[in-house]
Amino acid sequence: MPRYHIAMTNARDFDEIERRAAEGNGPRYGVPLLVRRLGAKLHQASQCAPAVSFSDRLRSRLIGIPQTWSFVHDVAPRLGSNDVVTASTQRWAYRWLPQSVVSLGGQS
């Protein structure tokens, strides 16, 4: 059985978003619902990405920004061959995850 992961390059305070939505002061967001229903692990760049490396800077000359490369390199080793990943932003970065990982959604 696969494990589910949601990778976000832009962190959000979902507790605050849910609170405001419950009060009628803002829209709901689908990510907390997915996390609960799938038992998914949420990865947010500002919460788990290590410092930017020299290779991250080099790759960012081709596409993206160094911080996203750092995030991808941090998350990739945590994934198994049967895991399912959905990436909500900067979908180009998730093409660099292991070939055995299935990438779904987040294609904006």
The average confidence (pLDDT) of the chain is: 76
Q: For the whole model, what pTM was predicted?
A: 0.67
Q: Is 8 left (phi over 0), alpha (psi -120 to 50) or beta?
A: beta
Q: Is the pLDDT of residue 107 over 50?
A: no
- Kindly tell me the number of DSSP H helices and DSSP E strands found in the chain: 5, 4
Exposed/middle/buried for 25, CB within 10 Å: 0-12, 13-18, 19+? exposed
pLDDT over 80 at 6, yes or no: yes
φ and ψ at residue 99, rounded to 5 degrees? -60, -30
The pLDDT-based confidence of 20 (bands split at 50, 70, 90) is very high
For the stretch 27-76, pLDDT in tens is 887 788 888 888 888 888 776 567 889 998 998 898 888 888 888 888 88
Q: Are 96 and 105 in contact (CB under 8 A)?
A: no
Number of Cβ within a 10 Å radius of residue 22: 10
